[in-house]
Structure 1
Amino acid sequence: AADIAAGTAMDPGWKPISSALVGISVVRSNPAFWWHAFWWTHVVLLFTFLAYVPHSKHMHIIFAIINTFFMDLTPKGALKKVDLENAQTFGVNRVEQLSWRQLLDGYACTECGRCTAACPANATGKPLDPMRIITNMRDTLDEQGPAIVAGKTEGLPDMFATVHPEDGIWACTTCYACVYECPVMNEHVPKIIEMRRHMVLTQGKMPPEAMETMRKIEQNYNPWGIGWDRRGDWAEGMWIPKLSEGGRYLYLFWVGCAGSFDDRNRKVTLAFARILQRAHVPFAILGPEEKCTGDPARRIGNEYLFQAMAAANVETLNRYEVKKIVTACPHCFNTLKNEYPQFGGKYEVIHHTQLLKELLEDGRITPTKEVAELVTHHDSCYLGRYNGIFDEPRDVLKVLPGVKTVEMSRCRDRGFCCGAGGARMWMEETIGEKVNHRRLSHVEETGASVVATACPYCLIMFDDAAKTKDREDIRRFDIAELVERSL
C-alpha cells in the first residue's frame, strides 16, 4: 500500500487489497513512514512465529519435513530384528530406550487424529488411541528430559503409566491403518510391538490364552497344539509329493498352520492343491518338516520364539534349495517374504491369488461353470496395506462366470481389519464390540450373499461372527474355493 501511494509499486492493478488501503489518509499522507512500519511489523511477526513454533503444536511444520526425509524404507511388514545375545534390554518401557527416529515422530505429529479415526480397536471401544501413543511419548520426553540427561531416572514412571496403558497395547491388531493414514510418516505399530516385547521378554507378562498359544508353538510348532507329525495329514490320498522324497519342483506350497490344522481352512488348502494339479503346476510340500513361521510369536512380542522358528525354517528351506514359495496365508506370505531375509532366507514368495490370476490369464485353468453370487471381497491387512496386493483377488473374481462384485464402504487401502492380526487371533476380546462383528456389519450393508477372503485368519473370524450374529445366510469362502467351483 505504501509503495502504491509513493508511486513505486509494480503492477498495482494486480494488488486490489493494497490498492484499497491506499485510500486510508494516513498511508497516503506519509507513504515512506508506513512502508518502514509495515516492513518492520512483518519482520517482527515472522521472527516471533519462528521462535514460537518449536514450543507449540505447530512444530510439526519443521519436524514433519525431517521425519519424512528419514522415513523407514525397509518393507512395511518387516519388524526390526532384535540382537538377543547382546541386547541390554528387551523392548522398551522408557522413552530414552527409543531411537532418535522413533522419538522424532512425536514432534512431527500434527495431532490430526486420522490414525485414531482409522483404528479398528478404537472404533470398537478398546482403550487404544494411536495418536496418544505418539503425543504422550513426546510429552513424556519433554517432562523427563532433564532427568534423563542428568541420569536421574530412578523412580520416574514408565511408558505404561505415561504413554499408554497395557490394555490398549494388547488391543492392537497391527492392521497398519494408523501408519497408513499418517500424513507425516509416523510409525505407531513398531512402538506397540516394542512395548509388547518388554512385557513378554522382560516382565514375562501376557494374556493367559496368549501364553498357552506360545506353549503350543514351542511344543508342536503350531498355535493349535496338534501334533507336529500330523501337519501333512490333509494331503492323504492327494498324491502330493514332499520335498524330502526328492525331485525338482517349481513351487513349494507353504500350507501354514491354519491350512494344515484348522478344519475349515483345510478345505481351502485342498481346493487350491486340486487347482494346481489341474493346471499341471509342479509343486511339493514340506509336510511335517514345515513349522509355524513365527508370525504370532513376533507380533505378540515373543521375539525369542519367533527367531527360533525362523532359524529352523530357513535352515530347512535352504537345505532343499527352495527358490519359489506360494502360500494362501498373508501372514506366512509377509513373514517369508519380508522378515526371513533377516535370517538368510531369500525366496520369491507369491500369494495364492497372484498365482491363480496368472493361471487364469495363461489359460491353464478355464472357469466354465456359473457361480451366481453377489460377492464382496474383504482385504486382508497383511496382504493389502502391508504388501500392496489389492487388485489380484478382485481380478480373479471378475473372470468367474456369474459372479457380481460389490465393495464395502471400507475397502482396499482403507479396509477394516477382521480382528485377528497382531496375534489377536489367539487372545480373548472382552472389551467393547468385537472387531469381526463390526466387519461383518460392513458386509451386511452391501447386501452381498458371499464374502470372499484371501486369508485363513479372516475366514475364521467371519465364520465366528456369522455364527454368533446368526447370519450364516452370508456365506464365507476363500477365493480359491470360488475358483474351484467355477471349473
Structure 2
Amino acid sequence: MEAIMSNDFPEDTEERLKQEITETVRRCRKCNYCYSACPLFQSTRGFQTNGPSGIIQSLHYGIVWDEINGEEKDTLRDILYQCTTCNSCVITCKEKATGLPIVEVIEKGKLLVEMMNGPMPSQRKPLEQIYSHGNPYQEPQEQRLNWNNEKSLKLLPKDTAETLFYVGCTTSYEPELQGVARSLVTIFNQGKVDFGVLAEEKCCADPVDKMGDEFLYQELVNVNEEAFLASGCDRIVTVSPHCYHTFADLYPHLKDKFEILHYTQFLDRLIASEALLFEDGDSIRITYHDPCYLSKHHDILEAPRAILQNIPGVDFVEMEQYGKNSLCCGGGGGRMFHEVEGNNLLGETRAQQALAVKAKIIATACPWCHVMLDNAVKNLDLTDKLQVLDIAEIVAKRLTTI
C-alpha cells in the first residue's frame, strides 16, 4: 500500500493547490446564503465551520497561517471531511452571489491535507481494501458477480455487447441492494438490450477521489479506462450516480469514446420507445428522493419521475424538498466510510418528509441513498409504514411479460 499512499507528488503541487484555493476563497463575499442550502449545517449544531463558507474560510486561513502542517492540522482535516459534496452551496452561490466552485475548493483542500496528513483515520481501511480487493468492503473479487444467481450474462471483454452494464461495488456486494442489479438485468432482457458486464469489474474510484488519495485514484482510472476500451462497447450504463459522475466528468478519455448514462436515463429512453411495457397494478403512493449526484450535479430530474409516472397505479407525489432543492441523504463525500455528527439526521428527516405526504414507498436511484434512507426508516421504527425501493426494483415488478 505504500506506493499508492505515497506523498511523492510533483514538486509544485502543494504550492499550486494553495494558490488556487486562496485565490478562489478571496472572492467569497461571506454573505452566507450557502448556509441555508447546506445539509451539513442543517444536521449539526450550526457552528460556522459546519457550513460551506466556514469550511472554505477555515481552509483559507489554515493555508495563510500555515496550520496545514501545524497543531490544528487534524482539526482542519475534520472540518473538510464533513462535507457531503452535494453541490447545494454551488447552486446557491451561482444564483445569489459570486458563483464560487465551493465543492471544488473543498476537494482541493482534501488533496492538500492528504499530502500532509492523510485521510480520516476511519477511511484508511476502505482505501486499503479498494487497493487490495477492488472494492471498499474487503469482499473477494471472484464473488463480485454472485448477485447474478448463476444466470447467464455476457462477460466482457471475452464476449461482445453494445452496452456495458457497470454494476458498482455497493450494488454487487450489499445483500439488500443486489436485487437492484438483478432487476436491471430483467429490465434489459425485457427491453432486448444487448449488454454485458465486466468479468473483472473494479471500483469506479469515486470513494477514492472523495477521500483524497490521488495516487490510488489515478491507478483505478487507468485500470478502468483500459477495461472499458477493451470491452468493445459503445455505451456505459451505471447503477450509481457517483459512478456516472466519475465516468462522465472526471475520467479524461471516456466521454469521446462512449455514451455514458445513468440507468434512469436509459430506462426512460426504453419506455419512450415502448421497448418496456407495464401491467396494471394496485394504486400505491410513491415519492422520489433525488440523489444529489443526479439532480444537483447533472440536472437529471425528469427521467426518474417520468419512469415512475409511466407505471400504472403509481400515485406519484413530491416531498417538501425535491429536485435541485432536495435534501441530501448524507452519504456522499466519503461519509459512507466516516461517521459525522448528525450523520443519521438527514435520512431521518427525509423519512419524515415522505410520511408527511402519505407516501408508502420512497423511491431512489442511488445505492448510497438507499442505504442511508433504509437505515433511517429502521432507526425510526417505520418499517411497517414506509419502504425504501430503487426505481429499478419498482419497474421490474410491474413489467408486462412478453
Deviation at 1:138, TM superposition (A): 6.4
Match of residue 180, structure 1, among 78, 91, 107:
91
Cα deviation 1:259-291 (Å, max 9, x = unaligned): 21111111011011101111111101113x110
Report the secondary structure of 1:285's partner residue.
Answer: strand
Structure 2 segments unaligned to the other structure (5+ residues) = 1-6
- Change in 2 beyond 3 A, CA 1:345/1:285: farther
Match of 1:384 in 2: 295
CA contact under 8 A between 2:165 and 2:238: conserved in structure 1? yes
Q: Do residues 98 (structure 1) and 12 (structure 2) align? A: no
The answer for the alignment partner of 2:219 in structure 1 is 308
Provide the residue aligned with 1:123 in structure 2.
Answer: 42
Task: Write the distance in 2 (CA, Å) between the matches of 1:272 and 1:137.
Answer: 42
Note if contact 1:271-1:481 (Cα within 8 Å) is conserved in structure 2: yes
Structure 2: distance between partners of 1:322 and 1:309:
19
Shift of 1:315: 1.0
TM-score, with normalisation over the residues of structure 2?
0.88
Q: Secondary structure at the match of 2:236?
A: strand
Q: 166, 170, 180: which is aligned to 1:254?
A: 166
Structure with higher RCO (Cα < 8 A, 6+ apart):
2
Is the aligned partner of 1:444 residue 2:355?
yes
Q: CA deviation at 1:212?
A: 1.2
Q: 1:242 to 1:99 in 2, by over 3 A?
A: same
- Residue 296 of structure 2: SS of its match in structure 1? coil
Mapped contact 2:130–2:203 kept (Cα < 8 A): yes
For residue 360 of structure 1, report the CA deviation from its aligned partner. 1.0
Q: How does 1:289-328 map to 2 (within 5 A)?
A: 289-328=200-239
In 2, Cα distance between equivalents of 1:371 and 1:309: 45
Match of 1:13 in 2: none
C-alpha distance in 2 between matches for 1:474 and 1:91: 48
The residue aligned with 1:198 is: 112
1:267 matched to 2:179? The reply is yes
Summarize deviations over 1:91-119 as a string: whole Å, max 9, x none: 67xxx84345x434434333321211211
The size of the alignment, in residue pairs, is: 386
Q: What does residue 398 of structure 2 align with?
A: 486
- Relative to structure 1, is the Cα distance of residues 189 and 277 closer, same or farther in structure 2, using a 3 angstrom cutoff? same
User: 1:371 & 1:482 partners in 2: Cα distance?
Assistant: 13
Q: Give the alignment's Cα RMSD to 1 decimal.
A: 2.6
CA distance in 2: counterparts of 1:108 and 1:257, whole angstroms: 39
- What secondary structure does 1:384 align onto? helix
What's the counterpart of residue 222 of structure 1? 135
Deviation sequence 1:10-30 (CA, Å, 0-9, x none): xxxxxxxxxxxxxxxxxxxxx
1:314 deviation in Å? 0.7
Cα deviation code 1:451-481 (max 9, x no counterpart): 0001111111111111111111211111111
8 Å contact from structure 1 (residues 330, 382) kept in 2: yes
Other-structure match for 1:47? none
| SS state at 1:326 partner | strand
Identity of aligned residues (%): 29
Letter in 2 for 1:381: C
> Structure 1's 258 and 97: CA in aligned 2 closer, same or farther, altered over 3 A?
closer
Listed as ranges, the matches of 1:267-286 within 5 Å are 267-286=179-198
Once residues 271 and 355 of structure 1 are traced to their aligned partners in structure 2, the CA distance between those partners, rounded to angstroms, is 14
Matching residue within 69, 79, 103 for 1:189 = 103
Query: Aligned with 2:106: secondary structure?
Result: helix
8 A Cα contact 1:222 1:257, kept in partner: yes
> TM-score, structure 1 length as denominator?
0.73
Which residue, 239, 246, 253 being the options, matches 2:152? Answer: 239
Matches within 5 A, 1:95-174: 97-100=17-20, 102-125=21-44, 127-135=49-57, 156-158=66-68, 161=72, 165-174=76-85
* Structure 1, unaligned runs of 5 or more: 1-83, 145-152
Amino acid at match of 2:365: A
Contact kept in structure 1, 2:78 and 2:120, CA below 8 Å: no
Give a deviation string over 1:379-438, Cα, whole Å, max 9, x none.
011111111100000001111111111111211011111111111111123457633222
User: 5 Å matches for 1:422-441?
Assistant: 422-430=333-341, 434-441=345-352
Amino acid at match of 1:87: P
SS of corresponding position for 2:204: coil
Q: Aligned to 1:395, what secondary structure does the other structure show?
A: helix
CA deviation string 1:296-349 (max 9, x = no partner): 010011111111111111111112233211111101111111111258984211
Counterpart Cα distance in 1 of 2:376 and 2:389 = 14
**Could you tell me how far apart the structure 2 residues matched to 1:105 and 1:90 are?**
17
